[in-house]
Chains A and B, each alone.
Chain A
Amino acid sequence: MSDTQTQLDIDREKGNFRYDVDYEFDAGTGLNEKTIDYICDVKGEPDWIRQFRKDALKKFLEKPMPTHWASHDLENIIFDKIRYYLSQGGQKPKKTWDEVPEDVKRTFERLGIPEQERKFLAGVEAQFDSEAAYSNIKEAVGKQGVIFMGSTDALKEHPEIFRKWFGKVIPTGDNKFSALNSAAFSGGSFIYVPPGVKVSHPLQAYFRINAENFGQFERTLIIADEGAEVTYMEGCTAPKFDTATLHSAVVELVALKGAKIQYITVQNWSNNVFNLVTKRGLAMEDAEVKWIDCNIGSRLTMKYPGVVMKGRRARGEVISIALAGDGQHQDTGAKMVHAADETTSNIVSKSISVGTGRATYRGLVKIPRHLKGCKNNTECDALLINTSSRTDTYPAISVRGTGNACQHEASVSQVSSEQIFYMQQRGLTEAQAMSLSVNGFVNDLVRQFPMEYSVELKRLIDLEMEGSVG
Chain B
Amino acid sequence: MKHLKIDNLHVSIGDREILRGLSLDLPTGQVHAIMGPNGSGKSTLAKVIAGHPDYTVTSGDILFDGESILEMEPDARARKGIFLAFQYPSEIPGVTIANFLRAALQARLPEGEELEATEYYAKLYEKMDLLEMPRTFTSRAVNEGFSGGEKKRCEILQMAMLQPTFALLDETDSGLDIDALKIVSHGVNSLRGPETGMLVITHYQRLLNYIVPDFVHVMVNGRIVESGTKELALKLEAEGYDWATEPEAEAVGA
Known: A421-B74, A425-B50. A416 touches B90 (CB 8 A): yes
Tell me which residues across on chain A come within 8 A of B83, comparing CB atoms: 425
0/1 interface trace, chain A 423-460, chain B, CB 8 Å (1 if under): 11111111011001101111110000000000000000
Give CA–CA (A423, B162) in the complex, Å. 13
Q: Does A140 contact B (CB under 8 A)?
A: no
Give CA–CA (A441, B95) in the complex, Å. 8
Is there an interface contact between B94 and A424, defined as CB atoms closer than 8 Å? no
Q: Which of B73, B89, B95, B114 contacts A424 (CB 8 A)?
A: B73
Q: Which of A427, A436, A437, A443 contacts B78 (CB 8 A)?
A: A427
Tell me which residues across on chain B come within 8 A of A70, comparing CB atoms: none
Give CA–CA (A416, B91) in the complex, Å. 10
Is there an interface contact between B95 and A419, defined as CB atoms closer than 8 Å? no
Tell me which residues across on chain B come within 8 A of A423, comparing CB atoms: 90, 92, 100
Q: Does A160 contact B (CB under 8 A)?
A: no
Tell me which residues across on chain B come within 8 A of A437, comparing CB atoms: 92-95
Give A106 Cβ to nearest chain B Cβ, in Å: 31
Can you list 6 A-B pairs with a CB-CB distance of less than 8 A? A416-B90, A418-B90, A419-B91, A421-B53, A437-B92, A443-B94
Is there an interface contact between B52 and A427, defined as CB atoms closer than 8 Å? no
0/1 interface trace, chain B 102-124, chain A, CB 8 Å (1 if under): 01100110000010000000000
Q: Which residues of A contact B (CB under 8 A)?
A: 1, 416-419, 421-430, 432-433, 436-437, 439-444
Tell me which residues across on chain A come within 8 A of B50, comparing CB atoms: 425
Give CA–CA (A437, B74) in the complex, Å. 17
Is there an interface contact between A422 and B86, defined as CB atoms closer than 8 Å? yes
Q: Which residues of B contact A (CB under 8 A)?
A: 50-53, 73-75, 78-79, 83-84, 86, 89-95, 99-101, 103-104, 107-108, 114, 141, 158, 162
Give CA–CA (A423, B83) in the complex, Å. 11
- Smallest Cβ-Cβ distance to B52: which chain A residue: A421
Is there an interface contact between B141 and A422, defined as CB atoms closer than 8 Å? no
- Smallest Cβ-Cβ distance to A381: which chain B residue: B93
Give CA–CA (A436, B98) in the complex, Å. 13
Tell me which residues across on chain A come within 8 A of B94, comparing CB atoms: 437, 439-444
Give 7 nearest A-B pairs by CB, closest first: A440-B94, A440-B95, A422-B90, A443-B94, A426-B104, A424-B74, A427-B78
Tell me which residues across on chain A come within 8 A of B53, comparing CB atoms: 417, 421
- Smallest Cβ-Cβ distance to B78: which chain A residue: A427
- Smallest Cβ-Cβ distance to A419: which chain B residue: B90
- Smallest Cβ-Cβ distance to A445: which chain B residue: B94
Is there an interface contact between A428 and B75, defined as CB atoms closer than 8 Å? yes
Tell me which residues across on chain B come within 8 A of A417, comparing CB atoms: 53
- Smallest Cβ-Cβ distance to B144: which chain A residue: A440
Is there an interface contact between B95 and A443, defined as CB atoms closer than 8 Å? yes
Main secondary structure of the interface of A (DSSP, over half): helix
Give CA–CA (A426, B53) in the complex, Å. 15
Give B154 Cβ to nearest chain A Cβ, in Å: 12
- Smallest Cβ-Cβ distance to A438: which chain B residue: B94
Q: Name the residue among B53, B74, B79, B86 with the largest chain A CB count within 10 angstroms.
A: B74
Is there an interface contact between A432 and B107, defined as CB atoms closer than 8 Å? yes
Give CA–CA (A441, B162) in the complex, Å. 25
Known: A432-B103, A436-B103. A425 touches B95 (CB 8 A): no
Give B211 Cβ to nearest chain A Cβ, in Å: 21
Give CA–CA (A436, B96) in the complex, Å. 10
Is there an interface contact between B84 and A425, defined as CB atoms closer than 8 Å? yes
- Smallest Cβ-Cβ distance to B104: which chain A residue: A426
Give CA–CA (A423, B158) in the complex, Å. 11
Tell me which residues across on chain A come within 8 A of B52, comparing CB atoms: 421
Tell me which residues across on chain A come within 8 A of B73, comparing CB atoms: 424, 429-430
Is there an interface contact between A427 and B79, defined as CB atoms closer than 8 Å? yes
Give CA–CA (A1, B116) in the complex, Å. 10
Tell me which residues across on chain B come within 8 A of A443, comparing CB atoms: 94-95
Give CA–CA (A416, B54) in the complex, Å. 13
Q: Which of B74, B92, B93, B114 contacts A1 (CB 8 A)?
A: B114
Tell me which residues across on chain B come within 8 A of A433, comparing CB atoms: 75
Q: Name the residue among B86, B93, B114 with the largest chain A CB count within 10 angstroms.
A: B93
Give B163 Cβ to nearest chain A Cβ, in Å: 12
Q: Which of B78, B114, B141 contacts A426 (CB 8 A)?
A: B78
Tell me which residues across on chain B come within 8 A of A439, comparing CB atoms: 94-95
Give CA–CA (A267, B98) in the complex, Å. 31
- Smallest Cβ-Cβ distance to B88: which chain A residue: A418
Q: Which of B78, B92, B141 contacts A425 (CB 8 A)?
A: B78
Known: A436-B103, A440-B95. A427 touches B108 (CB 8 A): yes
Give CA–CA (A429, B76) in the complex, Å. 8
Give CA–CA (A422, B95) in the complex, Å. 13
Give CA–CA (A194, B209) in the complex, Å. 74
Give CA–CA (A422, B114) in the complex, Å. 23
Tell me which residues across on chain B come within 8 A of A427, comparing CB atoms: 75, 78-79, 104, 107-108, 162
Tell me which residues across on chain A come within 8 A of B90, comparing CB atoms: 416, 418-419, 421-423
Give CA–CA (A416, B92) in the complex, Å. 10
Give CA–CA (A423, B103) in the complex, Å. 10
Tell me which residues across on chain A come within 8 A of B84, comparing CB atoms: 425
Tell me which residues across on chain B come within 8 A of A425, comparing CB atoms: 50-51, 74-75, 78, 83-84, 86
Is there an interface contact between A428 and B103, defined as CB atoms closer than 8 Å? yes
Known: A440-B93, A440-B94, A440-B95. A424 touches B78 (CB 8 A): yes
Give A223 Cβ to nearest chain B Cβ, in Å: 37
Give A48 Cβ to nearest chain B Cβ, in Å: 51
Is there an interface contact between A426 and B100, defined as CB atoms closer than 8 Å? yes
Q: A422-B89, A423-B92, A437-B92 are in contact. List 7 more A-B contacts (CB 8 A).
A: A417-B53, A421-B53, A428-B107, A430-B75, A436-B92, A437-B94, A439-B94
Give CA–CA (A1, B102) in the complex, Å. 11
Give B143 Cβ to nearest chain A Cβ, in Å: 9
Tell me which residues across on chain B come within 8 A of A442, comparing CB atoms: 94
- Smallest Cβ-Cβ distance to A350: which chain B residue: B94
